[in-house]
C-alpha cells in the first residue's frame, strides 16, 4: 500500500525532491516564505481502562511523531474520537469527559492547545489526534542523514504491549495467565510492570526533540505499531546513504517483560523487536 501511495504527487516535496516518505512519522509541506508545515495524524484503540490516563497516553503518542522530527513546539492539536454506539449516555459522557481532560492536560504540559477535532459514533472506541507545527529550516531535523559510526539511542524501554496484555490477562484470570505465567512471575511484579509501563506511556518525548538539536542528531523515528525493528527498517530505507545499515544488538526492555516473553515463546514478538509499542520510545 505504501509503495502505491508513495508517488511524487503524494509526497511532501520541495521542487522535485521528496522531503519525506509516507511510511515515516510526519508530512513536511513547503509553505510560502521558506516555512514548512509539519503534520502528523495518529489514532488507535485504547489499551487501558482509565479514560483520563488513556487521554494522556493518546496525546503523548500523537506528539511523538513531531518530536521524532526534532520539532519541539506544536502549534495546534486536533482531537479525534470515536465513541462506541453500545455505550449508555452516562458512560459516554463520563468516559469522554475524562479522556478529553487527560488529552488536554497533556497538551498543556507540552505547551500547546486543542483547537478542534472530530467526534463520531462508531462500533469501537477510537482515540487519536492531529498535531501540526509551522517551522523554519532550523526547527526540524530530517531523518535521512545517518552516518557510519552513529549510535542508536532509545528514550524509553520496550515492552508496553507485553506489560498491558499480561496485566489484563492476570485480572481476567485468563488461560494465558493461569497456564504458566503465574508460576514464573508474581501478581505484584505484574502490577509493578504495568505501573512502570503506564508512567512511560504518559511521558512526553519532548526533551528528546530538544536534545536532538543540542547534540546534532542525524535522524530519528518513533517506535509504535511496527515495533523497534519495523520502524528501524523504515528509517534505514530513507537514508541518503543507501549503503548504510543499522546494527541492533540489545533490546532495553521493562523489567520482567523479557522473562514473560521467553515464557510465552515470544508470542507478542518482543524479543524479535516486532512487538507494537504505544507512546513508545523515539
How many whole angstroms separate alpha carbon 279 and alpha carbon 282?
9
**Do 69 and 140 contact (CB within 8 A), yes or no?**
yes
The neighbouring-strand residues paired with 39 are 27, 132
**Do 117 and 80 contact (CB within 8 A), yes or no?**
yes
Query: In this structure, what are the phi and psi dihedrals at residue 152, rounded to the nearest 5 degrees?
Result: -85, 125
- pLDDT (tens digit, 9 = 90+) per residue, 151-198? 999 999 999 999 999 999 999 999 999 988 999 999 999 999 999 999
Query: In this structure, what are the phi and psi dihedrals at residue 39, rounded to the nearest 5 degrees?
Result: -145, 145
- Judged by DSSP in three states, 175 sits in helix
What's the pTM? 0.91
Residue 181 DSSP label: G
- pLDDT (tens digit, 9 = 90+) per residue, 97-154? 999 999 999 999 999 999 999 999 999 999 999 999 999 999 999 999 999 999 999 9
Q: For the domain bounded by 2-135, which CATH number is listed?
A: 3.30.1330.10
Say which CATH class 160-263 falls into.
Answer: alpha beta
Give Cβ neighbours of residue 179 (< 8 Å, ≥ 6 apart): none
Domain edges within the chain: 2-135, 160-263
Cα–Cα distance list, 251 to 71, 86, 183 (Å): 26, 40, 24
Tracing cell 522531503 back to the chain, one arrives at 19
Amino acid at each position: 500500500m505504501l509503495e502505491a501511495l508513495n508517488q511524487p504527487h503524494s509526497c511532501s516535496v520541495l521542487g522535485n525532491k521528496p522531503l519525506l516518505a509516507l511510511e515515516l512519522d510526519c508530512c513536511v509541506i513547503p509553505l510560502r516564505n521558506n516555512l514548512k508545515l509539519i503534520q502528523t495524524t495518529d489514532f488507535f484503540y485504547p489499551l487501558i481502562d482509565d479514560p483520563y490516563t488513556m487521554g494522556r497516553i493518546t496525546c503523548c503518542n500523537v506528539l511523538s511523531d513531531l518530536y521524532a522530527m526534532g520539532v519541539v513546539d506544536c502549534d495546534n492539536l486536533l482531537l479525534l474520537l470515536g465513541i462506541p454506539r453500545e455505550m449508555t449516555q452516562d458512560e459516554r459522557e463520563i468516559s469522554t469527559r475524562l479522556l478529553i481532560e487527560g488529552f488536554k492536560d497533556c497538551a498543556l504540559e507540552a505547551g500547546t492547545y486543542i483547537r478542534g477535532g472530530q467526534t463520531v459514533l462508531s462500533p469501537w472506541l477510537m482515540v487519536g489526534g492531529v498535531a501540526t507545527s509551522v517551522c523554519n529550516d532550523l526547527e526540524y531535523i530530517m531523518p535521512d542523514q545517518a552516518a557510519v559510526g552513529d549510535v542508536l539511542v532509545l528514550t524509553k524501554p520496550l515492552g508496553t504491549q507485553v506489560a498491558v496484555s499480561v496485566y489484563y490477562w492476570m485480572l481476567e484470570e485468563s488461560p494465558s495467565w493461569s497456564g504458566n505465567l503465574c508460576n514464573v512471575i508474581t501478581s505484584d511484579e505484574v502490577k509493578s510492570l504495568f505501573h512502570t509501563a503506564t508512567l512511560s506511556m504518559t511521558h512526553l518525548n519532548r526533551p528528546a526533540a530538544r536534545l536532538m538539536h543540542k547534540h546534532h542528531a542525524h535522524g530519528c523515528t518513533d517506535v509504535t505499531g511496527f515495533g523497534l525493528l519495523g520502524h528501524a527498517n523504515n528509517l534505514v530505507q530513507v537514508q541518503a546513504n543507501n549503503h548504510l545499515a543499522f546494527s541492533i544488538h540489545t533490546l532495553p526492555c521493562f523489567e520482567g517483560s523479557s522473562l514473560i516473553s521467553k515464557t510465552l515463546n515470544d508470542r507478542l514478538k518482543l524479543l524479535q523487536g516486532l512487538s507494537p509499542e504505544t507512546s513508545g520510545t523515539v
